[in-house]
Amino acid sequence: MGRNYFHLHLISDATGETLITVSRAVAAQYQGVSSLEHVYPMVRSQVQLQNAIAEIKANPGLVLFTLVEQDLAHKLEQACREIGAPCHSVLQPVMTMFQSYIGAAATPRAGAQHMLNADYFRRIDALNFTMMHDDGQQSDNYEAADVILLGVSRTSKTPTSIYLANRGIKTANLPLVPDAPLPRAIETLRNPLIVGLLASPECIVQIRTNRLRSLNASENSPYVDRFLVANEVNRSRELFAKHGWPTIDVTRRSIEETAAAIIDLYKMHKMKFISAS
């Protein structure tokens, strides 16, 4: 059975990230249906809006928008009514709830969530730190990390680290290599939360095999030997248990799910660290 497709128009006065995230989260609930995304970022003028409306006329479909400028929002809604395209403001219901609870109207600011504030620079700082401490680099500076991820090769350490960095969490990651000792500093760290990442040997072997194929390398290697990989995983599990480090099995988790679990652990870690100080 083939997939069904529909046009999805995402109109934003900022980067459009909010719309993309929300629409994909909803679209994922419908099997056999895929959206053809038309993204219009930084729509802040009548001319830009008219260009988007012309595209909607040419390819009718669902329209989602985040436009805080009411004049632009009203013109888009009117145009969609004339075209017969369902149109919905993603932010308005939430803003209405905020206004009702807070008791004050919002001050419209296009792209306000992307302003260069302290949180923005914290995330950039975290990303720089994470890139410099990827795959065991600069282990002598691990005390400055918020989180350190340990795991055998192909347990999603790097992508998870980058995701955490985008949330403002300075993350280092260190691969567990057979017969290679951990840096001594790991056992004496006070500030960072250390998390062990695990995965089933079958999953790791599959990912490693695909990696070797992409490099046109020989698959006759200890790197993908089922028995040796299982031994690696067991030894890493023993290491984590020895030190009392929390673990997360990433076998069936997405990067986002793994990161969410780590963020919860990090919040608890910070509370304990503050209480002990």
Element (H, E) at 88: strand 87-89
Query: Alpha-carbon distance 48 to 71, whole Å?
Result: 13
The answer on whether 147 is annotated among ligand-binding residues is: no
The answer on whether 247 is annotated among ligand-binding residues is: no
The answer on whether 153 is annotated among ligand-binding residues is: yes
Task: For residue 21, give the 3-state DSSP assignment.
Answer: helix
Query: Alpha-carbon distance 195 to 221, whole Å?
Result: 28
The answer on whether 152 is annotated among ligand-binding residues is: yes
The answer on whether 156 is annotated among ligand-binding residues is: yes
Q: What is the DSSP string of 96-142?
A: HHHHHHHSS-----TTGGGS--HHHHHHHHHHHHHHHTGGGTTGGGG
The answer on whether 195 is annotated among ligand-binding residues is: no
CB atoms within 10 A of CB 242: 9
Query: Alpha-carbon distance 205 to 201, whole Å?
Result: 6
Residue 57 near residue 27, CB atoms below 8 Å: no
Query: Alpha-carbon distance 166 to 136, whole Å?
Result: 20
Picking from 227, 122, 207, the residue whose alpha carbon sits closest to that of residue 166 is: 122
The answer on whether 12 is annotated among ligand-binding residues is: no
> What is the chain's alpha carbon radius of gyration, rounded to the nearest angstrom?
24
243, two tokens: 């030190």
The answer on whether 157 is annotated among ligand-binding residues is: yes
Query: Alpha-carbon distance 27 to 197, whole Å?
Result: 30
- What distances in angstroms separate CA 35 from CA 9, 21, 43, 49, 63, one per listed residue? 9, 13, 21, 21, 12
Residue set of the binding site for ADP: 151-158
Residue set of the binding site: 151-158
